[in-house]
Amino acid sequence: MVGRPPDRSYRSLRGLESTASTSRVLNLAAVASQNARDPDYLSSPFFKAASLNGAVVVKHRLRADEQFVFEAPRQTSTKLIIPFERTDLSLGGRSLFVGQRGWEDMLCDLRGDRDDEARDVALLEAIDELPSLDPFLLREHLRRRDFKIASCYFAISLADIDRMQRFVSGEISKLVDLAYGGKGDGAPNAGITKLVVLLLSGEDDDRLDPLRVTLGLEGDEFREGVFCWKGFLYYKWVLNSLWPELRDVVAELTEIKVVGPRDDELLGQVKAAGAQVNQAILGQVRQVRDTLQVYDDAFTELTHAGNPMAFRSFLLKSPGMFITLGERTGTVSHIASFWRYRFPKGRPLKVGLDELFEILQDFRHGLSGEEKTHKSAPAPPLYVDEPLPDPHSAEPIGKAV
């Protein structure tokens, strides 16, 4: 029996009810229910139209049958979903893609009024420029576009912010130290630390002029290059934090046990899909590392060899590379976060065959763009112990890699 097509839109919305965001999803309905009495939430909402503030925003990888609504082919789009009932996402909702033909008229219908319509359109266009919905990058990007939005929409813990800022500051300080004639040991004094904070804030300031001169960039080229540079550093930090979680996913994919009724043909599809997903995850991580290495090499040329042109060239190319890097990192980040949401640590790794097939299909679809370009040795095959002693007992679909 071939696996029956699952109702993914229904399951995806229903599964979002208890979570606010991942690198691919921003659940404004959850933010609303958790922060309804927060003064900051009330004074600085995400959208100006109240009807949109219970929406779900998704970075969606477009399928072949969805391309026709756009003027030109694209891999991903920002999808806006307005639930029919905010407290029960399983009921579904209306949706649109940012950038599809006639999307602004569709948005106007969903908003219900024309007050501040231009602001909400501009906000969605700004979100569509990003490769993912990583909270830090989303906050930084919208802040530099002068959108005043409550901090509760960007679910970043203070501890994560502090760790990330220290990681980014440690990298940036090497260049700031070079530009401002410091000691050259990567340990900036208090004045340079202030400049690092200023650079991270994204604000324009005359005190950044020596850095502009060092990099040989001006105006928008400087601002865009520095933002993408921070994005590379952010993704470098994310990958360092994410890799242990991805290793767990790869291992657990081969350890998970199927419970309930079984179907031999569908089971074969699940085994094949699991092997493909495991290999694609590892291939995706390798490609992310290769892209980050381009930054590391250019930065080393600047800070150790005194060659600013190499890093300037990287900054000029970084906006295009940043999009690809963000999409790839966002894909594996989503897989890790969704897997842990569905299978919490310390709980049995058990799942029904149909649901596991659906999860693997979604993962494989998200990774499919990389599967076509990445070639490496095949992953070890997953296996199923035979026979099943009981149709309702659990059995492993594989062993740890």
Cis amide bond preceding 387, omega within 30: yes
Task: Give Cα 327 to chain centroid, integer Å.
Answer: 7
| 320-331 CB burial, b ≥16 within 10 A, e <16 | ebbbebbbbbbb
How confident is the model over 361-399, as pLDDT tens digits? Answer: 888 887 875 444 333 333 333 222 222 223 333 444 543
What residue type is 154 in one-letter code?
A: F
Look-up: residue for tokens 């929409």? 153
DSSP letters, 95-138, are EEETTSTTHHHHHHHHH-S-TTHHHHHHHHHHHHTSSS--HHHH
Closest CA to 55 of 6, 106, 8: 106
Using CA atoms, how far apart are residues 111 and 106, in angstroms rounded to an integer? 9
Q: What is the pLDDT along the chain (401 residues), one digit of tens a residue?
A: 344 444 444 345 555 544 545 678 888 888 888 888 888 888 999 999 988 988 989 888 788 888 899 998 888 899 999 887 666 666 667 889 999 999 999 999 888 777 889 999 999 999 999 888 888 778 878 888 889 999 888 876 667 777 777 777 777 777 777 777 654 444 445 655 676 667 766 666 777 788 788 888 888 888 888 888 888 888 888 888 888 899 999 999 888 999 888 888 998 999 999 999 999 999 999 999 999 999 999 988 888 888 888 888 888 888 878 888 888 888 888 888 889 888 998 898 999 999 999 899 888 887 875 444 333 333 333 222 222 223 333 444 543 33
CA angle in degrees (0–180, nearest 5) for 8-94-74: 70
Q: Give the contacts of 207 (CB within 8 A, at least 6 positions apart).
A: 195, 198
How, if at all, do strands 257-259 and 76-83 pair?
Answer: unpaired
Listed by start position, the domains of the chain span 9-156, 159-215, 242-396
